[in-house]
C-alpha cells in the first residue's frame, strides 16, 4: 500500500531532527557540531544498511558521539 521513502530522504530528515533537537547545545558549544552531525550520518547509515535495526543504529551513533566528544 505505502512504499518506503528513499534512503537519502531518511538521512536528511534525521539531520533536520538532530539539528532542531540539539540547537541549544550547538549554540553553547559549536565545536561539538561536527561530531554531532558525523554521528547522525553514522546512525542513518547504520540504520539503512543494518536492515532498519533502530536500536543498534542509535547505540552505535551514541557511542561514536561520546567517543568523539571525549577525544575533542
Q: What percent of the chain has pLDDT over 70?
A: 86
Q: What percent of the chain has pLDDT over 90?
A: 0
Residues 39-69 pLDDT 10s:
888 888 887 787 767 788 888 888 988 898 8
Q: Which helix (H) or strand (E) holds 10?
A: helix 7-21
C-beta separation of 48 from 63 below 8 A: no
Q: Mean per-residue pLDDT for 19-38?
A: 78
Cell reading at 68: 568523539
Amino acid at each position: 500500500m505505502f512504499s518506503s521513502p528513499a534512503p537519502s530522504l531518511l538521512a536528511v530528515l534525521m539531520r533536520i531532527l538532530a539539528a532542531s533537537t540539539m540547537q541549544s547545545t550547538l549554540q553553547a558549544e559549536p565545536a561539538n557540531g561536527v561530531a554531532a552531525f558525523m554521528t547522525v550520518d553514522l546512525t542513518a547509515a547504520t540504520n539503512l544498511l543494518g536492515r532498519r535495526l533502530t536500536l543498534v543504529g542509535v547505540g552505535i551513533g551514541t557511542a561514536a558521539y561520546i567517543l568523539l566528544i571525549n577525544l575533542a
